[in-house]
Amino acid sequence: MFSKIISGSLLGVDAILISVEVDVSNGLPYFSMVGCPGSEVRESKERVFAALKNTGLSAPSARITVNLSPADIHKEGTSYDLPIAIALLLSCEMLPKGCTDNCLIAGELGLNGEIKPIRGVLSLAKKAADEGTGKIIIPAENAREGAVIPGIDVIGVSSLKELFNYLKDPAEYPLTITKVDAASLLSESECSEDSMPDFNEVHGQAAAKRASMISAAGFHSMLMTGPPGVGKSLIAKRIPTILPPLSLEEALEITAVYSVAGKLSSDKSLITSRGFEAPHHSLTLPALIGGGTNPRPGAVSMAHRSVLFLDELTEFDRKSIDSLRQPLEDHIVNISRANYSVTYPADFLLICAMNPCPCGYYPDRNRCNCTEPVLRKYLSKISGPILDRIDLCVEMTQVKLDEMGSTTENESSESMRNKVMKAREMQKKRYAETAYRFNSEVSGTDIEGYCNLGDKEVKFLKSIYEKFSLSLRSYHRILRVSRTIADLSGSENVLKEHILEAVNFRPNFEYWRNL
């Protein structure tokens, strides 16, 4: 007898529906699985047969053929165990016909019949809801995650026996539909941010704190240079606290990435705050960008809508640093291999920190003995194209003793975030009819039209362009940063003082002369 169950497969952070077809026919005992299954999927035969036996449901001694359709898509993961088992029971007429109609089923089976959690449930639930599927049956540990998607009934199950009883007689063995109010989860998160680090704990470093606020307001990438112990990491860790709260759409996007990566804890159904991804400099290229034998999101995707902090930037492999060029421009990562191609989101705020030289104390020649060849080799890790994509560069120095006041004298994260949100609101209105969201995204051909420059400002920009022999990209970068500074001051027009401040955040090319 033939039966079919709807399940799903992941392609990047999206999902597609997969038909799990099982045919049981007379003949010598034989099990065949077709439809481009990966090694994990092929191993499901052993898990399914053992789970059925240990649940008290015997597999038939017959010719069994399993097809995963469409057959031209490579199938990976363990989520096909449960639909294969249920389809097999349907084909043996151990379950009533039609009990799985309009239902998506996914889950991994343990040998004892336990149903274990899987990756990517949020994407599967969203795809099922978009396709009009009325119900999704998934592992109990994933139920709250799937339930954040409205318009679909989510049922969590803990064992194969429990699901078998429910499908056979739902009236006698009912299962609860899981409900989650995603909007209330976001509201609760906003009320519980008191324990987060605060900018009022950072003494001195006024320029770096100002640059952080500009970076958060316009989503501009930033690089901090300075000797050890000046507070580069301290400031970077507090930048998420001045970013606006997540919208529901952003929260779902981040949660989908975490779910696909297998990093969403079972007690958390929704990521409700912006993250801070700080990978060690020894990480591999696939760990940074994504990919691998079984493709997973990399650090740039885990930092989607959040902060990616690269500490000790020059210690990263140059190939890894240069691989950030495309994600910084397109906000996505395309992973292409011989047998698959996936796309991961990568719309992150890049924050970098580095020492000015290998010993960390250049240009203080009383403490730094680095020669010019050593400095040249040190700086060569950062290519010109990457430096050209960093909008804000801040040189930090040691904090003076008289700047070490009480925390009440420093501006708090809440105050800075309020200013950032006002600037973001101006950008939202300005770009309402366009594809742009932030000043950092505006193309070079459009940015001048959004700056409302006067004659004095145009003349000043021309003199800067000629004096510093700027490239067009550098020129447009100054305009974008100037536009954000103007937004922070509540000005519709970009004034000379805004441009002058933006110029001060350009890289010190006297220092970068060796690039």
Any idea what the CATH number is for the domain that residue 60 is in?
A: 3.30.230.10
- The dihedral through the CA atoms of 335, 341, 343, 344 has a sign that is negative
**284-309 burial by CB neighbour count: b if 16+ within 10 A, else e?**
eeebbbbbeeebbbbbbbbbbbbbbb
Tokens of 498: 């805004």
The answer, yes or no, to whether residue 341 has pLDDT greater than 60, is yes
Q: Is residue 465 part of a domain?
A: no
Whether 483 maps to a domain, the answer reads no
Using an 8 Å Cβ cutoff, are 270 and 291 in contact? no
Mean pLDDT of the 486-497 span: 95
In the listed set 420, 435, 450, which residue is the last one of a domain according to the structure?
435
360-391 pLDDT, tens digit per residue, is: 888 888 888 888 888 888 888 888 888 888 99
Is 162 found in the same domain as 207? no
Q: Which of 38-47, 119-128, 217-226, 467-476 has the lowest mean pLDDT?
A: 467-476
- Does residue 127 share a domain with residue 254? no
The upper half-sphere exposure of residue 271, i.e. CA atoms within 13 Å in the direction of its Cβ, equals 25
What's the confidence (pLDDT) of residue 515?
43
Answer yes or no: are the C-beta atoms of 243 and 420 closer than 8 Å.
yes
The domain that contains 296 carries what CATH number? 3.40.50.300
Task: Tell whether 167 and 200 lie within a shared domain.
Answer: no
Q: Is the pLDDT of residue 514 over 50?
A: no
Q: Is residue 449 part of a domain?
A: no
> Where is mean pLDDT largest: 229-233, 468-472, 504-508?
229-233
Answer for the pair 34, 364: CB distance below 8 angstroms, yes or no.
no
- Residue 116's contacts (CB-CB under 8 Å, 6 or more residues apart) are 78, 107, 108, 109, 110, 139, 141
Last residue of a domain, one of 180, 215, 233: 180
- Classify residue 510: in a domain, yes or no: no
Q: Is residue 443 part of a domain?
A: no
pLDDT of residue 187: 77
14 and 132 fall within a common domain:
yes
Mean pLDDT value across the chain: 90
Q: What is the pLDDT of residues 294-315, one digit of tens each?
A: 788 999 999 999 999 999 999 9
User: What percent of the chain is modeled with pLDDT above 90?
Assistant: 70
Residues of the chain with pLDDT > 70: what percent?
Answer: 96
* pLDDT tens sequence across 405-416: 655 678 999 999
DSSP string, 237-281: TTGGGGSPPPPHHHHHHHHHHHHHHT---TT-SS--S--EE---T
Average pLDDT over residues 325-341: 85
Asked which of 180, 202, 220 is the last residue of a domain, the reply is: 180
User: 227 and 115, same structural domain?
Assistant: no
| 501, pLDDT greater than 70 | yes
Within this chain, do residues 196 and 100 fall inside the same structural domain, yes or no? no
Beta strands 115-116 and 108-109, pairing class: antiparallel
What's phi and psi for 4, nearest 5 deg? -140, 135
Within 10 angstroms of residue 56's Cβ, the number of other Cβ atoms is 10
Its domain, for residue 162, covers 2-180
The answer to whether the peptide bond before residue 286 is cis (omega within 30 degrees of 0) is no
Same domain membership, residue 176 and residue 55: yes
Global confidence as pTM: 0.90
Q: What length is written for the chain?
A: 515
Q: Quick one: 113 and 14 in the same domain? A: yes
**Looking at the structure, do residues 107 and 255 belong to the same domain, yes or no?**
no
Has residue 64 been placed in a domain? Answer: yes
Residue 139 lies in a domain: yes
In total, how many domains does the chain have? 2
The mean pLDDT value for 436-446 works out to 92
Q: What is the pLDDT of residues 23-74, one digit of tens each?
A: 999 888 889 999 999 889 999 999 999 999 999 988 888 899 999 999 988 8
Q: Is residue 117 located within the same domain as residue 208?
A: no
CB proximity list for 291: less than 8 A, separation 6 or greater: 298, 335, 337
Pair 121, 262 in one domain: no
Statement to judge: residues 251 and 303 lie in one domain? yes
Other CB atoms within 10 Å distance of the CB of residue 111? 13
